Amino acid sequence: MSIYHISGSGAMRSLSPKKAPGNGELDQQEAGDVSSHRARTDSIEISSEGQALAAQNAEASERLQEVLGRIREGAYDSPEMAEQVARSILESGDL
């Protein structure tokens, strides 16, 4: 295998320690940029509609926990309850 010299490439330059990638050091300009970003804060505002939706979601979650508790207790294990649930699903049009 032959390796040929590429003209115009010159010797590789080494990076100064301050500019070496990944060494965690910043020069004065970069340090100033970072400190100005740290001073900034973000804020959000949730609309009243969003707050209402969150409240509804919490209520639905509570209801879900109630139903799951009844399932664990075996409240839906009777044939009568299975028929009632099936009838409710059919009447709701979800099936």
Instruction: Locate 60 and state its tokens.
Output: 């639905």
Determine the pLDDT at residue 9. Answer: 54
pTM (two decimals):
0.35
Q: Is residue 4 part of a domain?
A: no
More confident residue, 19 or 76: 76
Q: Is residue 15 part of a domain?
A: no
The contacts of residue 73 (CB under 8 Å, 6+ apart) are: none
Q: What is the pLDDT of residues 10-58, one digit of tens each?
A: 555 655 555 555 555 656 665 555 555 577 899 999 999 999 988 888 8
Q: Is residue 74 part of a domain?
A: yes
Handedness of CA 19, 22, 25, 27 (dihedral sign): positive
Q: Is residue 56 part of a domain?
A: yes
Q: How confident is the model at residue 59 (pLDDT cuts 50, 70, 90)?
A: confident
Q: Is residue 23 part of a domain?
A: no
Determine the pLDDT at residue 5. Answer: 66
Domain that holds residue 86: 48-92
**What is the C-alpha separation between 38 and 91, in angstroms, rounded?**
58
